[in-house]
Amino acid sequence: DTGVSQDPRHKITKRGQNVTFRCDPISEHNRLYWYRQTLGQGPEFLTYFQNEAQLEKSRLLSDRFSAERPKGSFSTLEIQRTEQGDSAMYLCASSLGLFGETQYFGPGTRLLVL
């Protein structure tokens, strides 16, 4: 399978704990995007990378959130000191080259903060 993969698919954690999610994009894609989706809502943009450079961060991305793509391949999204409001589906997508090109989405990581 050469699609976008995310790990883990589900995560349950206690409030205050740190969590880290991983996204592996399609191998030749240089752009990688992170989104968050809460129940009944459309996805919200969080951040995106062009190769290893983080080019844009949404105001939704508080100081507790950090994303990296150290070698321009896989990316990690870390949430520190999780809060119940962080419970959501975290989606990763990748695309090739030009902005606005078709994005290919991963299956998402569903986070539940108790």
Partner 1 sequence: KNEVEQSPQNLTAQEGEFITINCSYSVGISALHWLQQHPGGGIVSLFMLSSGKKKHGRLIATINIQEKHSSLHITASHPRDSAVYICAVISNTGNQFYFGTGTSLTVIP
CA 34 to chain CA mean position, Å: 3
Q: Please, what is the minimum distance in Å from the beta carbon of residue 107 to partner 1?
A: 6
Residue with tokens 């976008």, as numbered in its chain: 4
Binding site for partner 1 (CB under 8 A): 33, 35, 40-45, 55-56, 89, 91, 93, 99-105, 107-108, 110
CB of 89 to partner 1, least distance (A): 6
In degrees, rounded to 5, the angle at the alpha carbon of residue 100 between the alpha carbons of residues 97 and 106 is 80
Based on CB atoms, which residue is closest to partner 1, 18 or 41? 41
Q: Do 73 and 87 meet the contact criterion of CB atoms below 8 Å apart?
A: no
Query: Which of 25/43 has CB closer to partner 1?
Result: 43
Comparing CB distances to partner 1, the nearer of 38 and 62 is 38
- Shortest Cβ distance from residue 108 to partner 1 (Å)? 5
